[in-house]
Amino acid sequence: MSRFICTALFFALLGAIAPAQNSAAASTQSSAAAPTQNSAAASTQSSAAAPTQNSAPVQVPPVPSELVEAEASIAHSDWKSAEEKLDPWLVAHPGDARALFDAGYVADAQNRSDAAAAFYRRATEANPKSFESRLSLGLLLARQDKLTEARPELAAAVALEADAVLKARAWRALARIDRATDATAASNDLLEALKLTPETADDTLLAAELAERAGQQSAAEAAYRRVLASDPHSTAAITGLAHILIERKQYPEAESLLHDALAKLPDDPALTAQLATVLADQDKAEALPLLQKLHETHPNDAAITRMLAAVLAESGDYAGADKLDIALLAATPQDAELLVAHGQNLVHQLQFAPAYTAFEQATQIDEANADGWSGLAFAASRISRPDVTIHALTMRSRSLPENSSTLFLWATAYDSLHQKDQAIVYYRRFLDAAAGKLPNQEWQARQRMQVLGRK
């Protein structure tokens, strides 16, 4: 079979088989996830590349009939027949790189990933310059989320001579691996792919994501809008653009974008969560049923549960919010933010002693948590622990300015400790800050100042 015919068959079969995508690394790289198919083309690989203009033609040894027949079976997706021919051949020729690649491809196509990886590795060991073996092994490892193992194989692949389409595929796979740890490297990988093949919608989405990671929101927004101009139904572009609009607090535009998308995809969890986020900052009454529906369908999603708990608390359902926060704390008991939320729910339910405990735990875990110190100061004042109130207010003041509420706590704590001079100072500061906005506390402050002044 001639080199030309073999190559034609190779590209006809390229991407014909796409194993199940079951990792985050592979979910967005459909164009770079399927195993490559060598058919008869891979036999020559780098060692049988086309001769240069000034060199003598390279003599390609004939392909054994057993492999020709096996590859004909592969071309027709007849995996059983292919294996029946490849297995005995590999017993007799265990170092045949071409046969090892074929065996790896057959296993890969049947989702026998471990066996496929083993064959691909043996193929690369038998022929380190086999681009197809390196690429297929790298893509397979990426699909398995073994990114640290996948990257060296793909990096080795792009250093070899190969068809432009396949080499671009390797560069794109590298970009998707690098995006999590090195946005600059990922951008460079993508640029290398674009030198070889035209830009795709997936490329534009990746470029947008990388721009967003680099803080270049305008560039990211422009990229998302380019995708939507050609594909108005691209969920990835909609969620990406909505994220930017939410970050900028451009809520009306984000809400319109998400409402239109959900009219077509009413059960999409990402779009629903984004719309709930938008509404939670504007119309909590409308956000609440959305979040409740989302929580019912994704009860184990911690982010959704947190959001629902926050909206319930802001809507006044402190018991309902606390039920969710307690469930979250069972899984992450050292989460200071959750402990603060739990404490705040308890305060609203007038359960000051357990609230004190929750705030105390939160501040022990995170000494920089100003909300935790605020809560601890208030809860301590309600259970007659003025010494703790003063300590908590002191810690809070390291990161937040005083307000009328904290000044009143300072005053009443010093008053409880019979430190008259400090109490009078803080009552005066409180009255200046409150300026008629807290009439009950202001009346109390004036009464206490009169009493203290007579002592």
pLDDT at 14: 39
Going by C-alpha positions, the residue among 454, 429, 452, 453 that lies closest to residue 442 is 429
Show the domain range for 188: 1-45+62-197
Distance in angstroms (rounded) separating the CA atoms of residues 369 and 359: 10
Greater model confidence, 311 or 18: 311
Going by C-alpha positions, the residue among 159, 128, 124 that lies closest to residue 141 is 124
State pLDDT tens for residues 341-387. Answer: 999 999 999 999 999 999 999 999 999 999 999 999 999 999 999 99
pLDDT at 386: 95
Say yes or no to pLDDT of 7 above 70.
Answer: no
In a domain, 119, yes or no: yes
pLDDT at 60: 62
What is the distance in angstroms between the CA of the first residue and the CA of the last residue of the chain? 110
Percent with pLDDT over 90 in the chain: 62
| DSSP state letter for 47 | G
Taking residues 40-61, what's their average pLDDT? 46
Least confident of 106-110, 167-171, 300-304: 300-304
State pLDDT tens for residues 245-267. Answer: 988 889 889 888 988 898 888 87
Least confident of 45-54, 226-235, 253-262, 292-301: 45-54
| pLDDT grade for 304, boundaries at 50, 70 and 90 | confident
Phi (first) and psi of residue 198, to 5 degrees: -65, 155
| pLDDT grade for 57, boundaries at 50, 70 and 90 | low
| pLDDT grade for 283, boundaries at 50, 70 and 90 | low
Domain CATH code at residue 21: 1.25.40.10
Greater model confidence, 54 or 217: 217
pLDDT at 288: 84
In a domain, 361, yes or no: no
In a domain, 57, yes or no: no
In a domain, 293, yes or no: no
Say yes or no to pLDDT of 42 above 70.
Answer: no
Say yes or no to pLDDT of 176 above 50.
Answer: yes
pLDDT at 270: 82
**Residue 58 has which token pair?**
């390279």
In a domain, 440, yes or no: no
Distances 163 to 3, 14, 71, 141 between C-alpha atoms, Å: 14, 12, 20, 22
State the amino acid at position 347 in one-letter form: V
Say yes or no to pLDDT of 189 above 90.
Answer: yes
Q: Are 320 and 305 in contact (CB under 8 A)?
A: no
Total domain count, the chain: 1
In a domain, 308, yes or no: no
Identify the residue whose tokens are 């705030």.
359
Taking CA 345 as the corner, what is the angle to CA 343 and CA 346, rounded to the nearest 5 degrees?
Answer: 65
**Residue 175 has which token pair?**
């970009």
In a domain, 284, yes or no: no
Which residues touch 391 (CB under 8 Å, ≥6 apart)? none
Q: What is the CA radius of gyration of the chain?
A: 33
Taking CA 86 as the corner, what is the angle to CA 121 and CA 126, rounded to the nearest 5 degrees?
Answer: 30
Q: Are 260 and 232 in contact (CB under 8 A)?
A: no
pLDDT at 8: 31
Which residues touch 356 (CB under 8 Å, ≥6 apart)? 343, 376, 379, 380, 382, 383, 385
Say yes or no to pLDDT of 39 above 60.
Answer: no
pLDDT at 455: 59
- Overall size of the chain counted in residues: 455
Identify the residue whose tokens are 């609203």.
348
Least confident of 40-54, 175-189, 252-266, 419-433: 40-54
CA–chain centroid gap for 344, Å, is 29
State pLDDT tens for residues 128-144. Answer: 999 999 999 999 999 99
pLDDT at 183: 86
| DSSP state letter for 335 | -
Mean pLDDT of the chain: 84
State pLDDT tens for residues 429-446. Answer: 999 999 889 999 999 999
Q: Are 386 and 416 in contact (CB under 8 A)?
A: yes
In a domain, 130, yes or no: yes
Least confident of 35-44, 91-100, 163-172, 219-228: 35-44
Which residues touch 109 (CB under 8 Å, ≥6 apart)? 17, 19, 35, 77, 79
Distance in angstroms (rounded) separating the CA atoms of residues 39 and 125: 20
Taking residues 82-91, what's their average pLDDT? 94
Going by C-alpha positions, the residue among 168, 12, 166 that lies closest to residue 77 is 12
Phi (first) and psi of residue 180, to 5 degrees: -75, -25
